Each structure stands twice: as structure tokens, then as C-alpha cells.
Structure 1
Amino acid sequence: MPTPEGEQECIPVRSNDDVVRARQLVRSLAQRCKLSLVDQTKLVTAASELARNTLVYGGGGVMRTGLVRRDMRLGVAAVFEDNGPGIADVDLALTDGWTSGSGLGLGLSGARRLVDDFVLDTEVGRGTLVSVIKWAR
């Protein structure tokens, strides 16, 4: 696992306002990490989708984020965690176009494509944890 660089920030994800705060915090860290504008946009989009999933499907939860270092590389990590119902069929949930709600079905699969590292840990009845990292180039 990458080594944290400085402090990690944790914010609740309980409302649409929290989703906006999560997006703003990730954007700020991406700028500090000197990600390109394109990579900033990719990371912020992924974080926004994952925060919204945490709220809508997980019933709310938390986002932990911070700068990370692996070897000589610096990146931004964001972890979204909820105690919701979990995901029964992970392969299906990661399929482009599939949705359990009224969305476009691009949340998890889209987020996975937008970041460099993507880890999904879920179990029915236990909740879901999604961890993502975008590395500076």
C-alpha cells in the first residue's frame, strides 16, 4: 500500500452538499499534487461518482483522502466507505451500462477507467469500500 504523505482528511458523505465537498477536497489535493488538468478532471469525476454511490446506494458513509507516495511517485488517494447493503454481483456492477438505479450505469466502471489504481471490497450485508489513486506523471 502507498505511504501517506502528510495528513489524511476524512469527511462524512451524508448529503448532496457532502458530495460537493468531497469533489472540492479531491480537486484541491490534485492541484497540490500537480496532476495535469486532464488528470485532475478524471480524478474529480471518479470521486464525484464514488461519493454519490456512497450516498445513494450505501446510505451514506465517509471519504478519506490524502496525498500518497509509492517509490518516487506522488499521487492522490481517495477511499469511500459505507455500511450499506453491499454489492451482490461485483462483475455485473462493474459492467458498463448496468445500473441498479436510474443512472447511466457508468459510476463504478467509469470511475475504474478514470483512475490508475482501483480496489473494490464489498460484501452483502457488510457494506462497500472503494479505494482509488491517481498518480502524477
Structure 2
Amino acid sequence: MTAGVDLGQPQAQSVRSDEDVVRVRQLVRTVAVAVKLSLVDQTKVVTAASELARNTLVYGGGGTVEVTTVDNGRRKGVRIVFADSGPGIADLDMALTDGYTTGGGLGLGLSGSRRLVDEFEIETSAETGTRITVTKWSR
């Protein structure tokens, strides 16, 4: 157990407020340190998690985040699943394009987050909302 986090079990965090986004960042950093990601990789995964948690709140109307340690036999990592029941992403290709924004920001949330992690998967529909799974592996 690391700082109140049982690394053997997935750690869930609801995202309903700005404070929850901060909690997601803290949880991801704790798990990233525990699996011995480098400081650079910790920063990358925490930044991606912050962006995606914020998107879950702002565009998905809130949702959940689940943080899990993973081990492929050669190295360890952090897997994070962001899920919401919002309206989905109407044009996924456009949303993954640098500079595209519907919220007046810089438009680097999804595309920037994708570049910061090693694995990035997204499922989205108007009926089920959006589910994004990211993984960052130790080097």
C-alpha cells in the first residue's frame, strides 16, 4: 500500500468538480511514482490525466476515472480509464486534430494527451458517452 493506495486494486475516482480533477492528478502521480516511472514520464501521464479528467467534467458532464497498475512481464505501467455518459464526440477525427476546440481553449487536450502516453484508445457515441483508456509504461 502506497500513501493510502492499494496498488493491487483499481482505484476509482468520480469526476464531478474541479476538486475531483485535482484528486485524479494526485492519484495518478501516486501510482506513477509507485510503479517507478521516471520524473519526465510521471509528468507526462499526470498532464494527460489532468486534461482528460477536465474533458470528462466539462464535455461529458462528469464521470469516473479508474487508475490501475499494469505489468506486461517486462515492465510496469499505469493504465487510466476515463468514462462519462455525455453526448459523445460528434467528429472524433476533428477532435483529435491539433488546434481543434469547441471550448475556446488551445485545442491540445485530446491530441496532446495522446502524444503524452504510450497507448491511447477512445470509444465514443451519442448513446453511451465517451470512454478513453490511456497507458504509460516505465522505460
2:131 is matched by which residue type in structure 1? L
Who is 1:67 aligned against? 69
Who is 2:103 aligned against? 101
TM-score, normalized by length of structure 1?
Answer: 0.95
Who is 1:27 aligned against? 29
TM-score, normalized by length of structure 2?
Answer: 0.93
CA distance in structure 2 between the aligned counterparts of 1:72 and 1:91, rounded to whole angstroms? 33
Who is 2:81 aligned against? 79
Shift of 1:6: 1.3
More strand by share: 1
CA distance in structure 2 between the aligned counterparts of 1:121 and 1:72, rounded to whole angstroms? 28
Shift of 1:91: 0.4
Post-superposition CA distance 1:40-78 (Å, at most 9, x none): 000000000000000000000000001111132210011
Aligned residue pairs: how many? 133
Shift of 1:119: 0.3
Who is 1:39 aligned against? 41
Which of residues 126, 129, 135 is equivalent to 1:127? 129
Q: Which runs of 5+ in 2 are unaligned?
A: 1-6
Q: Structure 1 stretches (4+) deviating beyond 6 angstroms?
A: none
- Alignment RMSD: 0.9
Matched ranges for 1:110-125 at <5 A: 110-125=112-127
Q: Which runs of 5+ in 1 are unaligned?
A: none
Who is 1:7 aligned against? 9
CA distance in structure 2 between the aligned counterparts of 1:58 and 1:17, rounded to whole angstroms? 16
CA distance in structure 1 between the aligned counterparts of 2:39 and 2:75, rounded to whole angstroms? 18
